Amino acid sequence: MTIFDSKIKEKMILDLYEVHIIDFGHFKLKSGISSPYYIDLRLLVTFPHLLELVSDVLWEKIRLKPFDLIAGIPYAALPISTAISLRYNRPMIFLRKEVKSYGKGKTIEGIYHKGQHVVIIDDVISDGASKFETIKPIEDVGLEVSQVVVLLDRGQGGPRIVQKRGYQCVAITNMEEVLEVLYNHGRITYERLKECQKFIFKTSTNTNIKNDKTSLRYKKV
């Protein structure tokens, strides 16, 4: 990654924090555990300039591998994939949360052809389970999933799990990097940094994170 790319990603992280898309406190997750941070990229629809920035950052990764269609996972990734489709003139499909009981009873909206390659886009990844809920219906109609690209890896081993099932999965950034940027720019305290790092270490299924001695390398300033 070039210095320019790194600066753009750093700006994105800081901007997401400023509008509380990246937020800190105590939040109950779907799993029932309490997290010291929360990422809500559904809020991007309120900030067009940020939606544009996120779509540009994702595009730089997506464009590196050939594909025919973009598919955003409902709901947070739908505005993101739509922005990418519009900005870069790439066709899009999307999976319905509920199958229509009338008309053509479609599961997937949009025009597609058997054998086309699809890049799946999502906002965050935890354990990767929701990605397979989208992959299966797409493959059931004869499409091929070429890659899964997410904006942020929460650190629960999702990309590794998806890759073990045979799919390329990449994350633009992760919580360790987000915390590093926010701490270095004075947005979070040392105490907040340590609290979040301990949570990531405790909940991570990624042995690379558990073996990374640099996770606790920051000194109080």
The domains found in the chain, sorted by start residue, are: 3-216 (3.40.50.2020)
Reported as a single tens digit per residue, the pLDDT across 107-151 is 899 999 999 999 999 999 988 888 998 999 999 999 999 999 999
| pLDDT(70) > 70 | yes
Reported as a single tens digit per residue, the pLDDT across 80-108 is 999 999 999 999 999 887 666 565 667 89
Whole-model pTM: value is: 0.86
Reported as a single tens digit per residue, the pLDDT across 210-221 is 444 444 455 554
pLDDT given at position 127: 82
Q: If you compute the radius of gyration of the chain from its CA atoms, what whole number of angstroms results?
A: 18
Q: What's the Cα-to-Cα distance from 39 to each of 43, 155, 210, rounded to whole Å? A: 10, 13, 22
Greater pLDDT, 208 or 64:
64
Alpha helices in 89-128 (DSSP H): none
Question: Buried (b) or exposed (e) across 177-208, using 16+ Cβ within 10 A?
Answer: bbbbbbbeeebbeeebbbebbebbeebbebee
Give, for 152, the enclosing helix (H) or strand (E): strand 144-153
CA angle 98, 32, 162 (to 5 degrees): 60
Mean pLDDT, the chain, integer:
88
